[in-house]
Amino acid sequence: MGRKVTMKDIAKDVGVSVATVSYVLNYSEKEKISHDTRLKVFEAVKRLGYVPNMAAKSLASKSSQMIGIIINLGAKNKRSKLYQYYDTVNELQRQMHKMGYDVLLLSTKEIGKEFDLVSKRSLDGVFVIGMGERQLNEIATGYYVPIVFVDGYLEDDLFFKILPDYRAVLQKAKEILQTEPQYIITEEHANDLLTRIIQEQFPPENIFVNRKDNSLEDFLQAHQQEKGIIVGELLALQAERLLNNDQFVAVISAETDSMLLPDTKRIVVSNKKKAEYAADVMKRLMNLEGFEELPKIIFVEPE
């Protein structure tokens, strides 16, 4: 059996101090640590197989005091998409730490192995972020702890889903642009509900999905005289360099500290609110009280 990975190993791999790794993993708000550094730490945690020792907390109660977060950190994900994932993880961690829980970040490369780890670590619950119906079905088939889906849709009333109100976002974009948006730019996603809503609103040639084989510059060049919607702050940041920012509205998740130009029009679908809703549902499920009254799809309204 190999040597147990430590925070020192993580620090050396990322090129930061052990203190920085500790701040990230313990979600300290005392130090200002960049999104990029936090993301690198979490990627190293997964890649090197670091698992925090929760034995001391677990001995005090039957609860492990640990919550899993499963996301897709596969090689096909572009940096802009990972940024969105990280921000959601970031906010979920905040909420669960307030409730006294530590968080274990898991990849979705091999779902079966990840749920083996859920079993071995006796996690109290799992958040699943941004997965498609096939993957969600695979998880749902073998679940045995409370599960809350965030930014992922499964046609099953057994599970709770936390989703942006996409139709409300499109309506708000129309009001801000003072016209029907002609195109939409978004990250590659696996949300069937979102796909249906987008396809209802836009023809295929006016939908740009941010994949390695697609050119954002070419798409914007073809639509430079039109007004549209750009979902994701990093995509909107790229668009600001390629066309006048009065031609689009950006859909972002950060309530403050946006990287966009001050006059770029924006709609906020707050990751903080998503996390608050998701944490509340998880708390009710773990306590087995008060969840029956909740809708199975909780929509986060745009601001």
pLDDT score for 206: 96
Helix, strand, or coil (residue 251): strand
Residues in contact with 78: Cβ distance below 8 Å, sequence separation at least 6, in sequence order: 187, 188, 210, 211, 212
The CA-atom distances, in angstroms, between 33 and each of 5, 27, 91, 188 are 22, 10, 14, 27
As beta bridge partners, residue 208 has 185
* Beta pairing class for 183-187 and 160-164: unpaired
pTM of the model: 0.74
- 65: its two tokens: 């005091």
Distance CA 132, CA 4 (A): 33
Distance CA 251, CA 184 (A): 10
From first to last of its 303 residues, the chain has per-residue pLDDT tens of 457 788 889 999 999 988 888 877 765 655 677 767 877 887 788 788 776 654 434 434 456 788 888 876 654 556 666 777 788 888 899 899 888 888 887 765 555 555 555 555 567 888 888 776 666 666 655 555 788 889 877 777 778 899 999 999 999 999 999 999 999 999 887 677 888 899 999 999 999 998 888 899 999 999 989 999 999 888 999 999 999 999 999 999 877 767 899 999 999 999 999 999 999 999 888 887 888 788 889 999 998
CB 172 within 8 A of CB 267: yes
Q: What are the two backbone dihedrals, phi and then psi, of residue 137, each rounded to the nearest 5 degrees?
A: -60, -40
CB 38 within 8 A of CB 86: yes
